[in-house]
Structure 1
């Protein structure tokens, strides 16, 4: 028997080792096969072929810089200069930055020898160091008549009958039948504090502080808060709407889910039919993503922050209902019996015997979801037309000013960090009774 048992244990050990060897070899092969499938299913070779490092560099540079556009209407000869090409950032007639000289001829100094000249006869000339002079005469009849130095056309010049684009490190020149435009990049977020029409534009920090201390603090704040380019007041309201959506949706769901959780808990709802129906409702609500509920409710109630709050409420009602019912099923019956022995009614037993036991779990989950929903409300707001998500989506779709996109993203990150910090403080105060913040 001893020998038979030994052979049996040896055979079992060999079988176990074979299985482990197969798992050790098979699992990596399975993962490799899956990654290979993903590589071709998502057309990674095509994606890498379509990727443009140059476009990525432009996108990154747009996030921390701005463009000043110098535009001539080829029909009227009128020259306009504007930050980011916007009317709200337009220089007053007859004024210009130091690198643009207005007159019968408009001379634009892009520095390092790059000079663009708008001639009185609608012609344009771009002197490119190391290459030569590029000239163009736009006409309505024959399009853009361009003249380049002898030789092959370089990659940084895009030329057709009706359009010429010259892109260099100094800036960009675009000529069409009706318009000639030059823009130049500058580092920073121009007009972030004050617009061109503000009396405080161009002043140093010390000068602004001196005026503020001299009694102009309210006017300075008004000019900053009502900035037409960056819309700080509208952005602050959008952030408030985002937090409000998350707050109403999260705490509204908690209020709705708590009484329903009693119907789904075995120890509080003896009827199986009631429990199963309630739990299936919870599964249905949380089984459909908040974005889907957002689309559905937007069709029913129209766009707005309230629709986003309702979408969060519906989804979180299912999640909270499941978590609350599980917490109720794990309560200590002895504490409830102690309350019952005093002659307390059912409502009183729930209030003093059940709620204190599950409060730490409830508050912890509610605050966590509130923090998480603050992030989700950004995306939901983009669909329902409210909050910072709407402003972010509008800026990205129009591809107007990527520095604005960066501004909104930074504010969203700061908002999430603030909510995380606030949520941690509330959890310590309400659950552990620690208000020290450590």
Structure 2
């Protein structure tokens, strides 16, 4: 059976592939590489991700209370909860690359466009996650707090936020 490749062509091809891989992975000019520039760019990228995610976490945590149906009861509050959930769906449904293109056009090329794109995407994702966490809370502590005379803010603080707090990324206590 003939495949159209001779032994000589195979040897030449393997030699060229090995030369290519050697050039790709072995640095011949190691001391002239701009390491400071590359490490600076890596640090900027990590700062963009950190700033965007941290900001999105705070925004999503605040807005998630407006999207939880057990907190927003009634006609008007229920409508607000529905609108907040749809807003989270839209923010989550648009890809981060699309948000990036939108913000590059709006604010120009640079780190700010990346931070804003991450904020938009993560706010939708985390807001929905936190709102579902608020809804999954047991209602018994809230009734107990009402029985002892707690106001609305105290009920939300101790019967909703406290059980949900471990769901906030990075807020879980480290066990020894």
Category of TM-score, reference length = shorter chain: 0.7 to 0.9
Structure-2 separation of matches of 1:339 and 1:59: 71
2:22 is the alignment partner of 1:61: yes
Greater helix share, structure number:
2
- Cα distance, 1:340 vs structure 2: 3.3
Structure-2 separation of matches of 1:333 and 1:343: 16
- Helix, strand or coil for the counterpart of 2:168? helix
| Corresponding residue of 2:112 | 306
Distance 1:362 1:56, change over 3 A: farther
| Corresponding residue of 1:190 | 28
Could you say which structure has the greater relative contact order, defined with CA pairs below 8 angstroms and 6 or more residues apart? 2
Distance 1:54 1:248, change over 3 A: farther
- Helix, strand or coil for the counterpart of 2:84? helix
- Cα distance, 1:318 vs structure 2: 0.7
The partner residue of 1:285 within 68, 77, 91 is 91
- Helix, strand or coil for the counterpart of 1:307? helix
Question: Can you give the 5+ residue segments of structure 1 that lack an aligned partner in the other structure?
Answer: 1-51, 66-188, 195-228, 368-429
- Cα distance, 1:260 vs structure 2: 1.5
2:80 is the alignment partner of 1:274: yes
Distance 1:351 1:54, change over 3 A: farther
| Corresponding residue of 1:431 | 172
Q: Which digits, 9 at most, give the CA deviation of each residue in 1:30-71, with x for residues without a partner?
A: xxxxxxxxxxxxxxxxxxxxxx97875554222223xxxxxx
Structure-1 separation of matches of 2:28 and 2:19: 18
Structure-2 separation of matches of 1:55 and 1:297: 44
Distance 1:267 1:296, change over 3 A: same
Distance 1:343 1:61, change over 3 A: same
2:15 is the alignment partner of 1:232: no
Greater strand share, structure number:
1
> Normalising to structure 1: TM-score of the pair?
0.34
CA RMSD of aligned residues (A): 2.2
> Normalising to structure 2: TM-score of the pair?
0.80
Q: Which digits, 9 at most, give the CA deviation of each residue in 1:300-345, with x for residues without a partner?
A: 0111112111101101111111111111100111122333344333
| Greater C-alpha Rg | 1
- Cα distance, 1:274 vs structure 2: 1.3
Number of residue pairs aligned between Structure 1 and Structure 2: 161
Structure-2 separation of matches of 1:55 and 1:312: 42
Distance 1:344 1:234, change over 3 A: farther
- Cα distance, 1:349 vs structure 2: 2.1
The partner residue of 2:158 within 352, 359, 384 is 352
Structure-2 separation of matches of 1:294 and 1:321: 20
Question: Can you give the 5+ residue segments of structure 2 that lack an aligned partner in the other structure?
Answer: 1-12
Structure-1 separation of matches of 2:132 and 2:120: 19
2:61 is the alignment partner of 1:258: yes
- Cα distance, 1:433 vs structure 2: 3.4
1:3-82 equivalences under 5 Å are 57-65=18-26
Structure-2 separation of matches of 1:291 and 1:55: 37
Structure-2 separation of matches of 1:64 and 1:303: 31
